[in-house]
Amino acid sequence: QVQLVESGGGLVQAGGSLRLSCAASGRTFSRYDMGWFRQAPGKEREFVGVMRWSGSSTYYTDSVKGRFTISTDNARITVYLQMNNLKAEDTAVYYCAFRVPAHLEYDYWGRGTQVTVSS
C-alpha cells in the first residue's frame, strides 16, 4: 500500500505560481508512474500530467503544457507540480496518484488540495 498526501494549494491571483507537493509513504521502494489530476466544481476529474516510473518522460494535457512541470526528489518520495502563469480555469482540487506501470488505472490516490485562482 502507498499513502499519498498533497499540500501546497491555496489562493493565488491569475498569473501567479504555486507548487504542489505530494508526499508518499508506505511501499515507496517500488516504482510507479506519478500522475496529477484535477477536478473543478461541476466537472469530471481530468488528467493534468504524469511522470513515468523511470523518470525519463513526462506528459501533460495540452491546457497546461509550458506552464506546469512535474518533478520529484531523488528518492521519489515527494512529487511536485510546479504551476506557473495560473489562470482562473486552473481552479480545481488537485490530486496526485500513483500507478503500477503495467496497470491501466491509477492504484493509489491522495485526498486532494484546493487551488483557487482569482481573476
List, for residues 53-90, the tens digit of each pLDDT value. Answer: 888 899 999 999 999 999 998 777 899 999 999 999 99
Per the model's pLDDT, the better-predicted residue between 28 and 73 turns out to be 73
Q: Which three cell numbers stand for residue 39?
A: 477536478
- Backbone torsion region of residue 118, taken as left when φ is above 0, otherwise alpha when ψ lies between -120 and 50, otherwise beta: beta
Residue type, 39: Q
Residue 31: its pLDDT value, please? 87
